[in-house]
Amino acid sequence: MCCKLLPVRELAKPAGAWCQHCEPGTGCRIYPERPQACRDFFCGWMLNGEVAAHWRPRESRMVLNFQATLKRTVVHVDPSRPDAWRKPPYHAELQVVATRMAEAGGYVLIACGVNHTIMLARQEFKLERMVPSDKIVISRRPGPAGPVYSIKLVPDEADMQAAADSAAQL
Ligand code: SF4
Q: If we measure between CA atoms, which residue out of 86, 82, 122, 83 comes closest to residue 102?
A: 122
Q: What global pTM score does this model have?
A: 0.88
Neighbours of 102 (CB within 10 A): 23
Q: In tens digits, what is the pLDDT along the chain, a chain of 170 residues?
A: 999 999 999 999 999 999 999 997 889 999 999 999 999 999 999 999 999 999 999 999 999 999 999 999 999 999 999 999 999 999 999 999 999 999 999 999 999 988 999 999 889 999 988 887 889 999 999 989 888 899 999 987 655 455 455 444 44
Cis peptide preceding 89, ω within 30 of 0: yes
Alpha-carbon torsion, ordered 101, 73, 136, 146, to 10 deg: -20
Q: If we measure between CA atoms, which residue out of 55, 47, 62, 119 comes closest to residue 89?
A: 55
- Give the start-to-end residue ranges of the domains of the chain: 1-40, 42-169
Residue 28 CB–ligand 1 contact under 6 Å: yes
DSSP bridge pairs for 137: 152
For residues 95 and 122, give the distance between their C-alpha atoms in angstroms, rounded to a whole number: 6
Residue 17 CB–ligand 1 contact under 6 Å: no
SS3 (DSSP) at 132: coil
* Residue having the nearest C-alpha atom to atom 4 of ligand 1: 38
From its phi and psi, is residue 155 left (phi > 0), alpha (psi between -120 and 50) or beta? beta
